[in-house]
């Protein structure tokens, strides 16, 4: 006999349509919840604004990743081609004015570092890889990829209360409200 302790993840509520989900998202945002998310089988235009989501900081990561790549390439090429081992080809000088010869490697490392920054920044922001999510244990969540529109409010939210959140979800049109639990690790 095994005994596993479970912890409340939050509530999952289903909505009838994309427009109902959109309007419910606005109400959840206005109620001041912070740890919640919407799930739908297709992208809903403007839902991120209805959820009150801010612009991602990923473009800033990519910008600084690209700058790092450019600086790395310049430092690498300049130090090896001008300072340590001056390369004189067809009597051309080896100094700061030979920078155009470094443009291909600067371009390549800018793209390479930007690409790596996108990959690892996205994984970090999305907290991936994650092998399992508590919502996968839900009886109805599998319909989020077919015809279901859901809002999940996490128990970690400061405004979460077992009875208050459930009645709030009912009042904004949620149906089939399910308490989702996860096993403690």
Residue 1 pLDDT class (50, 70, 90 cuts): low
Residue 185 pLDDT class (50, 70, 90 cuts): low
Has residue 102 got a pLDDT over 60? yes
Has residue 39 got a pLDDT over 80? yes
Local structure of 107: helix, strand or coil? helix
The pTM (predicted TM-score) of the whole model is 0.76
Segment 164-184 shows an average pLDDT of: 93
- Other C-beta atoms lying within 10 Å of the C-beta of residue 21: 24
Report the percentage of the chain scoring pLDDT > 70.
98
Residue 2 pLDDT class (50, 70, 90 cuts): low
Do residues 83 and 23 lie in contact, with contact meaning Cβ atoms separated by under 8 Å? no
Write out pLDDT tens, residues 119-154. 999 999 998 998 889 999 899 999 999 999 999 999
Residue 27, CB-side half-sphere exposure with 13 Å CA sphere: 15
Segment 52-71 shows an average pLDDT of: 96
H/E element, 109: helix 103-125
């Amino acid at each position: 006999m095994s005994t596993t302790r479970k912890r409340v993840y939050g509530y999952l509520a289903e909505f009838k349509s994309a427009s109902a989900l959109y309007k419910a998202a606005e109400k959840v945002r206005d109620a001041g919840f912070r740890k919640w998310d919407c799930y739908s089988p297709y992208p809903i235009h403007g839902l991120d604004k209805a959820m009150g989501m801010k612009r991602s900081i990923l473009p800033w990561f990519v910008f600084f990743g690209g700058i790092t790549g450019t600086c790395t390439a310049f430092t690498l090429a300049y130090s090896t081609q001008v300072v340590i081992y001056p390369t004189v080809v067809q009597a051309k000088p080896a100094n700061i004015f030979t920078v155009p010869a470094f443009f291909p490697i600067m371009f390549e490392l800018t793209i390479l570092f930007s690409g790596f920054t996108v990959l690892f920044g996205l994984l970090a922001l999305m907290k991936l890889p994650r092998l399992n999510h508590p919502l996968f244990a839900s009886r109805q969540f599998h319909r989020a990829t077919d015809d279901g529109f859901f809002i999940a409010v996490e128990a970690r939210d400061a405004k979460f209360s077992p009875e208050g959140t459930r009645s709030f979800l009912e009042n904004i049109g949620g149906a089939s409200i399910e308490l989702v639990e996860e096993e403690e690790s």
